[in-house]
């Protein structure tokens, strides 16, 4: 699974999110990961951050009638690798449904920090900056 490009790990993470595969999402995460998102409680920390965040996404989605989440990443605006650390800032678009009505969020950003370990790149932190809903 190892690769020399951290963007591959980020892409795999997003693909797993789009499939609803929390186990694969967790496997792309570092042991002491951090997630910062607009949804309360806004910060998830530690070895179970990816699973805890995804669980909360599903609970929040059920509360608001949201489903069918899908994220599409653009070309990174920042793709910096320094030794075993990387930083990527990537334009993103999210689509989902609210009570069956399609919604598109454009102008979002997915900002990710990664660390390279023996198994490959792992996400140490990510932040989602919301765009505009249409």
CATH number at residue 85: 3.10.450.50
> Distance from first CA to last CA of the chain, Å, rounded?
37
pLDDT score at 24: 95
50-68: per-residue pLDDT in tens? 999 999 999 999 999 999 9
Segments forming the whole domain that contains residue 78: 4-131
Confidence of residue 19 (pLDDT cuts 50, 70, 90): very high
Could you say which DSSP state residue 38 is in?
S
Token digits of residue 79: 């793709």
Has this prediction a pTM greater than 0.85? yes
* Domain tally, the chain: 1
pLDDT score at 1: 44
The residues that bridge with 44 in the sheet, in sequence order, are 35
E strand segments, the chain: 29-36, 43-45, 66-73, 78-82, 85-98, 101-117, 120-129, 132-133
């Amino acid at each position: 699974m190892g690769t020399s490009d951290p963007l591959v790990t980020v892409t795999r993470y997003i693909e797993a999110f789009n499939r609803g595969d929390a186990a694969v999402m967790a496997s792309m995460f570092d042991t002491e990961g951090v997630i910062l998102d607009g949804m309360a409680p806004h910060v998830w920390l530690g070895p179970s951050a990816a699973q805890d965040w995804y669980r909360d996404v599903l609970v929040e989605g059920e509360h608001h009638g949201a489903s069918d989440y899908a994220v599409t990443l653009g070309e990174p605006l920042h793709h910096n690798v320094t030794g075993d650390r990387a930083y990527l800032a990537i334009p993103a678009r999210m689509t989902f449904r609210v009570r069956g009505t399609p919604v598109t969020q454009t102008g979002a950003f997915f900002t990710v920090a990664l660390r390279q370990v023996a198994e490959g790149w792992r996400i140490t932190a990510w932040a989602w900056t919301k765009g505009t809903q249409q």
